[in-house]
Structure 1
C-alpha cells in the first residue's frame, strides 16, 4: 500500500494550525522505476485525510508514467533548498534582473533564508517549515519588512521550482504568519524643506547631488554617472542617458564604460534656477583640475559632474551612508537620499497636477509614477491623451517647482579650489524646518 498512516503528537487542522492534540496523518510512499531501470522512491507526508493522500497518490502515479517527470523526481529527490536557491539565483536572477536586484536577492538568500531552511530537502519543504522560519526571524528581532522581503524572494524562487516540477506546490504562498505593516515611509520634503537643505549644503560636496536629486528627482546612480558631454549649457538641456555601473570596485579611478539607465533615457531642461548650480560646478571642477596639474598631483578626468577631488568617480555608498549623517547634523527630518526623488515627484505633482509629465521627468512608467504618488486610475485611457511630452512641457512643470524653491547658490572662494565638507554639527537655518 502506497498510503500509510502515522501517529503525531500535535496534529494540524485544515488551515495548517497546530491543534495541540494527537492524531493520525497519512503519508504517500511510491516506489517506481526510473527511465534507466533503476529503483527509486517518491515520498510526501502529512495529509490530514486518507482521501487526500489517495488522490495525491493517483496524481503522482499518473505523472510518473511520463519519463521526463520521473527523471525530474529522481534528480531533485535529494536536492536541498540551499542547493536549489544557489543554482536558481545564478541561472535566473543574474540573467533576468537588474544587477542591484540580483545582488539583493543573493544577500537575502544568504542571510535570511539559507540559515533557517537551507538544509531542508526541497521536495520536503512545507508551509509549516517556512512559517517556523519566519517566526524565528521575527523572534531574533528582524523587522517585519525584512522578513516580508525574504518571503517575496523565496516565493518567486519556489514558484519557479513548481513550474519545473521540482515540487508540487509553493510552500511560501501557503504560510500563515502575519508580518504586519512595514515601517512607514518618511514623508517627502516640502519645497521649503528642499530649499533649506540646499542652503545648508551650499559650497560643500553635497551641493550638486542635492540639486540633482532634490530639483530633478534623479536616481543616485544617474547623478554619479552624469557626464559633462551630456550637458548642453548653451541650449539649456542635459541628457540622463547613462548611469554609474552597479559594481564599481573600491579605489576605482577611471570609469571605462557607463551602464544604461533604468528608463530609456530622457532629456531635461536646465531651468533658470538650476543653471547657476551647473555653471558653478563646471567652474569649480575646472579650477580643481588646474590646481592638481599645478601641484603635480594625479587628476583623473572622467568628465563627471559629481566626482571626488581627484576626478575619480564617487562611490554609491558615499551617498547612501553619508546622507543620513548629513541630515542628523543639520537637525533635519530623516529621509533616505532616494526620498529626494519622491519629494520632487510629490511637489511637482501638487504644484501642476500633471502626473504624466512628472513621470517623464523622472523616467517613470505611468504605473510607476502612479504608485509613487499613491494614485490609482486607468493609465491606458490617460496615455491616449499624450503621444509625447515635449521639452517645453517638462520645462513648465520644472519651472513651477523650482520657482517654489528658488535657492540662491553660494559662490565659491575664487582663491581656494577646495570645498568644505558639510558640517555634521548642529546648525541653525534661516528657514524653520518642520519635523
Structure 2
C-alpha cells in the first residue's frame, strides 16, 4: 500500500492509497502535523487501523467492557430487536461490566465466569436473571472467537449455573372490584379500555393484545385468532408469530363480543371524522424472517396491504408499550400498587384454575409451551382444588364406619 509524508506550507501531512471504490482510486490524507516525525508516526498508526478495518485496539489489550461495547455496536444493534438490545444493555451495565469489565478480554478464564455466576446466586438473583447474563456473555464471546478471532475459545462454555432453590415470582391477583375501578379510570372511548378487556377476558400477553387485528375476530363464532404479536425492532414496529409459536383460537364471551363490536363502530366513526389525517397501517415482508414490517401512512394513500388493529388511538395511531406502561403506572398509583399488564393474564388463568377448568385447556388458552409451565405457575390453585376435592369426598362418604 503506497503512502508517505510531505510538507504543505509550514506543516506536514501523511497520505496513503485506500482500496478502490467503484473502480476509482481513493486517497486518504491528513495534515496539520508540526514535524515530519509526527506525520510519520501518525501514518503508521493510520495504516495499522486501516488494515484492521477501522479497529482501533489490539485484540490482546482490549478490556471486556470495551469489547462488549464493540459487540453491541457491531452485532446486537443490527441483528436483534430494540427490546432485546435494551435488555442486553441493562444487564451488561448493571451486572457484567462492574464485575469483569476491567479485565483484558484475552485473560478471561472459565474460573472468572464461574465466580461471577456464583456471586450472583449468593446475592439472591433468580435463575432466569443469572441464565440471561451467562447467555449474553456466551454470545458475545462466541462472536469474539468467530468471526473476530480475538479469542481461541469461549470461556463461558464450561461455566455452570448449578442448582437454584425453587422460586416462584409473586404476581398480584386483581379483584373484580379493582378491575371495575380500572375500567372507570379508562372507560369506553379511551385507549386503555379495550386493552384492559383483552387482558382480563382472554389472558393475552401484551404483544398479542397490541398485535390483534380485526380480521382475527370472528363475531359469528365468537372467537379470536391469536396468530401474531407486535414488537419494536431496530427498523420499527414488526409483526411476528406469538411467543413459542403459540398460535391459537380462543372462545370469547357474548359480552366481550358486544364491547368489541362497539369499539369497531367507534373506530369507523373516527376514521370518517379524521378523514385524510387518519393513520392507517400497511405491512411489508422482512427478508428471511417470518415477520412483517409495519408502516403508518396517511389515509389518503390507500394500500392493498392495509391491516387494521384493535388497539389504536382515536386518530388511528398505534397503542404502544409506552402507552400501556403509562396506564400501568396510573393504575399502580391510584388502584393497585403491584399492578402490571401481566397481572391481568395471571388473574385470568387463576380464576379459570380455581373454577375447575381443565388444566390442559388453560395451557392452550394461555399459549404456554408445555403444561408443566401452567402447573408450576398455578400450583397453589391446584393444591387448593385438591384439598376441596378431599373435603367433598369426605362429605359424600360421611356416616358410620363399617364394622371391622
TM bracket (short chain): 0.5 to 0.7
1:242 correspondence with 2:233: no
**Cα gap change, 1:311 to 1:342, in 2 (>3 Å):** same
Q: Report the Cα offset of residue 227 of structure 1.
A: 1.1
Residues 273-292 of structure 1: CA deviation (Å, up to 9, x unaligned): 21121111112111211221
* Worse overlay, 362-371 or 225-234: 362-371
Q: Do the aligned partners of 2:65 and 2:97 also contact (CA within 8 Å) in 1?
A: yes
2:240 aligned residue (235, 244, 259): 259
**Cα gap change, 1:172 to 1:120, in 2 (>3 Å):** farther
Structure 2, unaligned stretches of length 5 or more?
Answer: 1-57, 146-151, 282-307, 383-404
**Cα gap change, 1:116 to 1:133, in 2 (>3 Å):** farther
2:153 aligned residue (150, 159, 166): 166
**Cα gap change, 1:185 to 1:247, in 2 (>3 Å):** same
1:364 correspondence with 2:368: yes
Residues 118-163 of structure 1: CA deviation (Å, up to 9, x unaligned): 231235346578868998x99xxxx9549x7664333235556599
Provide the residue aligned with 2:197 in structure 1: 211
Q: Do the aligned partners of 2:222 and 2:251 also contact (CA within 8 Å) in 1?
A: yes
Aligned residue for 1:166, secondary structure, equals coil
1:278 correspondence with 2:260: yes
Aligned residue for 1:258, secondary structure, equals strand
Q: Report the Cα offset of residue 299 of structure 1.
A: 0.1
Aligned residue for 2:204, secondary structure, equals coil
Provide the residue aligned with 1:315 in structure 2: 320
Provide the residue aligned with 1:53 in structure 2: none
Matches within 5 A, 1:391-410: none
Q: Do the aligned partners of 1:158 and 1:172 also contact (CA within 8 Å) in 2?
A: no
Q: Do the aligned partners of 1:189 and 1:343 also contact (CA within 8 Å) in 2?
A: yes
* Structure 2: distance between partners of 1:216 and 1:299: 29
Q: Report the Cα offset of residue 349 of structure 1.
A: 1.3
Q: Do the aligned partners of 1:130 and 1:172 also contact (CA within 8 Å) in 2?
A: yes
Q: Report the Cα offset of residue 370 of structure 1.
A: 2.7
2:87 aligned residue (101, 104, 123): 104
* Structure 2: distance between partners of 1:376 and 1:348: 10
Q: Do the aligned partners of 2:222 and 2:252 also contact (CA within 8 Å) in 1?
A: yes
* Structure 2: distance between partners of 1:172 and 1:81: 17
Aligned residue for 2:187, secondary structure, equals coil
Provide the residue aligned with 2:273 in structure 1: 291
TM-score, structure 1 length as denominator?
0.54
Structure 1, unaligned stretches of length 5 or more?
Answer: 1-74, 378-435
Q: Report the Cα offset of residue 360 of structure 1.
A: 0.9
Which one has a larger percent strand, Structure 1 or Structure 2?
2
1:301 correspondence with 2:287: no
* Structure 1: distance between partners of 2:359 and 2:161: 38
2:329 aligned residue (318, 321, 324): 324
Aligned residue for 1:365, secondary structure, equals coil
Aligned residue for 1:371, secondary structure, equals helix
Aligned residue for 1:343, secondary structure, equals helix
Q: Do the aligned partners of 2:211 and 2:228 also contact (CA within 8 Å) in 1?
A: yes
* Structure 2: distance between partners of 1:115 and 1:340: 36
* Structure 2: distance between partners of 1:220 and 1:267: 17
* Structure 2: distance between partners of 1:284 and 1:369: 37
Matches within 5 A, 1:56-71: none
Count, aligned residues: 286
Query: Once superposed, what is the RMSD of the aligned Cα atoms?
Result: 4.3
TM-score, structure 2 length as denominator?
0.57
1:188 aligned residue (162, 166, 173): 173
* Structure 1: distance between partners of 2:274 and 2:70: 49
**Cα gap change, 1:265 to 1:170, in 2 (>3 Å):** closer
Q: Do the aligned partners of 2:114 and 2:160 also contact (CA within 8 Å) in 1?
A: no
Provide the residue aligned with 1:345 in structure 2: 349
Q: Report the Cα offset of residue 358 of structure 1.
A: 0.9
* Structure 2: distance between partners of 1:123 and 1:151: 23
**Cα gap change, 1:264 to 1:151, in 2 (>3 Å):** closer
* Structure 1: distance between partners of 2:380 and 2:81: 26
* Structure 1: distance between partners of 2:74 and 2:364: 33
Provide the residue aligned with 2:386 in structure 1: none
* Structure 2: distance between partners of 1:106 and 1:264: 28
